[in-house]
Chains A and B, each alone.
Chain A
């Protein structure tokens, strides 16, 4: 892989992040509403509001506030939470670790389920197996997480079974078993949706690869279908699958908001919902930016991985 390709991708990623942070900051500032009013309430005197605005730096120009915020970001300074009166950075970092644990586990389980199923469906296109896999995945992407979750709670977390806690969180350092038990239900819900989605994409990616000439050559050579499919097909199909996985991280980060809220799991998504409901702008900006950044970074890594798998892509 050549250095120019890597450099170009990294610069694209940085530009995306810069635009993203500008958009997020603008969303939370150009729209009506002001943190000072939120903190002091509608009935506050104008002197008190002015004093608080000066303390929070809200009386400065939009650009000055934005640059101030932007410069702090690389050092983990996300401002001060207006409702918790603590630096937003450490709160976001802790929640991010919890969300990452959910996301990485889900991604691993979903990939392990969806890739073989997607390849199998593509290999037997039009068969009954393909039809049922497609239909099941269709139902999967159409059932909202807030419907799947209560059903799982009824079955697994309520009497008579009561196998798992219905929500909450135990820190990793306190009890590994407890930590794991609280992750199971959220991961199942997230996996359910992600697998359905990933499966459909893997299937269509594989179908494209399987219709190409080199696969026909491999078959005509008399190679066993197993080798054609899993060695020749999947190796090329993998470039598509990696791109899809990266795109699906965006999808996953969206689902995490709802799923964490349902299971009272203290991650970024739940923090986002909390901070939106309480109009805690530094937390809103920080959590939205981190969620967007995960997607940007995942796509950057996917681009680089594709460059390794298919060096032709690295020539401009």
Chain B
């Protein structure tokens, strides 16, 4: 993003509600994930057959599931798995997408055209379907789901970052670096990359929310985190089977997922607003 262009559009200062609410919810979600690693009121797998599918009470703040396991404890202890899916997949998607985006945006020409045809074809497969295609090769499980969602997110990152790179590559500092005789790799990673971090942060934040939701979807389908381990997707799957008896086991994980996804999305939107970026492909 060019500094000149950003400076020439001063905005009246106003409260950035998106950023405030988004950051708060995100912090809350992260706190749940971290807290769950250290503490939970009960052991998450502790079965209590006398108190199955119980409504919330002083002993069980979010009720119990069909085995009498404490829902709050399971939401807490499953949190880090859901967070791992969100952050892990986004980090992997960026690690795969960034080098390609820098390469094609920097060299342009025929290479760029060919690579972008492939990227466009990949973008025609919905993310979840793409993730399923990877799962079919590597099998179900939490690390596999991170891999699948990361690979599936990478074409989107190539698209978005490349357009920022194309924009940056036309600037004087790149021409100057070329004139100085700097190496292509140095120009890509030393000169261009520091100038395209803004869209990366924004899209990254939004993608964490979507990957968290996609990860929960894979777990829900039985292809992510494997029972008896819990994450929020697994919990919703288990709760749904007994929904006609009690909806309390559904409430905890459903709220946790919704709050985190809204948090990461709003934070991304808020950052986009703060960094004066135009909206882009993020919704695709």
Contacts and interface: CB of A to CB of B under 8 A. Distances in A.
B129 A150 contact: no
A143 interface: yes
Interface stretch (B61-69, B158-166, B175-183, B215-223): B215-223
A257 interface: yes
B121 A139 contact: no
Interface stretch (A17-25, A219-227, A232-240): A17-25
B257 A147 contact: yes
B136 A200 contact: no
Interface in A262-287: 262, 272-273, 275-277, 279, 281, 284
B41 interface: no
B213 A250 contact: no
Nearest to A158: B244
A116 interface: no
Given A150-B243, A250-B284, A27 B137 contact: yes
B127 interface: yes
B187 interface: no
A142 B137 contact: no
A247 B134 CA distance: 23
Interface string B107-137: 0000000000110111111111100111111
Contact of B126 (A153, A197, A257, A277): A257
The interface size bin for chain A is 35 or more
Interface string B251-279: 00010011001100110000000000001
Nearest to B123: A250
Contact of B120 (A16, A153, A257): A16
Contacts of A261: 221
The interface size bin for chain B is 35 or more
A90 interface: no
A277 B136 CA distance: 7
A16 B155 CA distance: 14
B28 to A, nearest CB: 15
Contacts of A191: none
- Secondary structure at chain A's binding surface: helix, strand, loop or mixed? helix
Interface string B201-235: 00000000100010011001111000000000100
Contacts of A153: 240, 243
A51 B132 CA distance: 29
Contacts, number: 146
Nearest to B255: A147
A147 B244 CA distance: 15
- Secondary structure at chain B's binding surface: helix, strand, loop or mixed? helix
B284 A247 contact: yes
Given A138-B262, A251-B126, A284-B133, A31 B121 contact: no
A254 B127 contact: yes
Interface stretch (A61-69, A172-180, A290-298): A290-298
B142 interface: no
Contacts of B279: 204
A262 B265 CA distance: 25
A23 B138 CA distance: 16
Nearest to A145: B217
Contact of B125 (A28, A141, A201, A292): A292
B172 interface: no
B133 A288 contact: yes
26 contacts: A16-B120, A23-B118, A23-B122, A27-B133, A27-B134, A30-B137, A31-B134, A31-B137, A142-B258, A142-B265, A146-B240, A150-B240, A154-B244, A201-B283, A250-B124, A250-B125, A251-B126, A253-B129, A254-B126, A254-B128, A257-B126, A257-B128, A258-B220, A273-B132, A277-B140, A292-B125
Given A158-B243, A257-B132, A295-B124, 17 more contacts: A20-B121, A28-B136, A32-B138, A138-B262, A138-B266, A146-B217, A146-B237, A150-B247, A153-B243, A154-B244, A154-B247, A254-B127, A258-B217, A258-B221, A276-B135, A276-B136, A284-B133
